[in-house]
Amino acid sequence: MTNSIVALMNEEFNQSELKQNLFFQLNENIQINSNVIFERPLNSINLNFLGDASLISFNYERAYFFSQNFFIATRIGIGVNTDFRFCIGSCPPQDSYTTIPHGITASIGKERHYFEMGMGGTYINGNEIESYLLYPIIAYRIHPMISKDYNFRIYIQFPIAGEAAGSIVFIPIGLSFGLSF
C-alpha cells in the first residue's frame, strides 16, 4: 500500500512539475515577445502645424502596440486658430480660438514606416462661439524604434460633421514633429 501511495505521489509531483515548467516556459516566451513589442517608445510629445482645425497645437500621444506591425494611437492636445479674413485696406482685429484636438488611429507598417487611418475631432472655443468638428484621418508616420528619438507625421483630414466656428482657418493637411519616449 505504501508503494502505491509513493507511486501516486511521484506521479502527482511529476504532473505538478510538468505544469510548472510549462507555465514558466510559456510565461518566458510571452515576456520575450512583449519585450520586443514594448521596447518601442509608447509616448510622444508633438508639435503640430496646421491640420486638426488648429494653426499650431501641442499634443500628447500614447501608442498601444499589438505587434511590431500594428498599433493603435490616441492623442489629445491644445492649440490655437484665428479667423480667416481677406481685406483690402485695414482689417478689424482677428478673433482667436482655443482648439482641443483629439483622435484615435490605427497604424500598420514595418520598422519605422506606417500607414495610419482613424477618426479625430476638435473642440473649438472662441469669444462667443463654440463648435466641434469631426473628421477622418489618413496619414503617413515615421515612428522611432528606440526611446528619445524623433517622430514625424503628415496627415490629411476633411471635416465630415460639425460646423467651423466663425470662419476659422481650416487647412486639411497637417505636419507633426515630436519626441517619443
Residue 126: other Cβ atoms inside 10 A = 18
Q: Give the list of residues 6+ apart from residue 103 with CB closer than 8 angstroms, or none.
A: 74, 75, 118, 119, 120, 121, 137
How far is CA 119 from each of CA 53, 70, 105, rounded to the nearest angstrom? Answer: 14, 17, 6
- Report whether CATH 2.60.40 matches the domain 41-180: no
Main-chain dihedrals φ then ψ at residue 147, nearest 5 degrees: -70, 160
Rounded Cα–Cα distance for residues 181 and 179 (Å): 7
Supply the pTM of this predicted model: 0.74
| C-alpha grid cell, residue 124 | 473649438
Rounded Cα–Cα distance for residues 129 and 89 (Å): 26
Mean pLDDT by runs of 10 across the 181 residues of the chain is: 57 60 54 57 97 96 96 98 83 88 98 97 86 96 95 96 75 96 95
What is the pLDDT, as a whole number, of residue 30? 46
Domain spans of the chain, in order of start: 1-38, 41-180
Q: What is the pLDDT of residues 123-174, one digit of tens each?
A: 999 877 788 999 999 999 999 999 999 999 999 999 998 876 557 888 999 9
| Helix (H/G/I), strand (E/B), else coil: 58 | strand
What is the pLDDT, as a whole number, of residue 163? 75
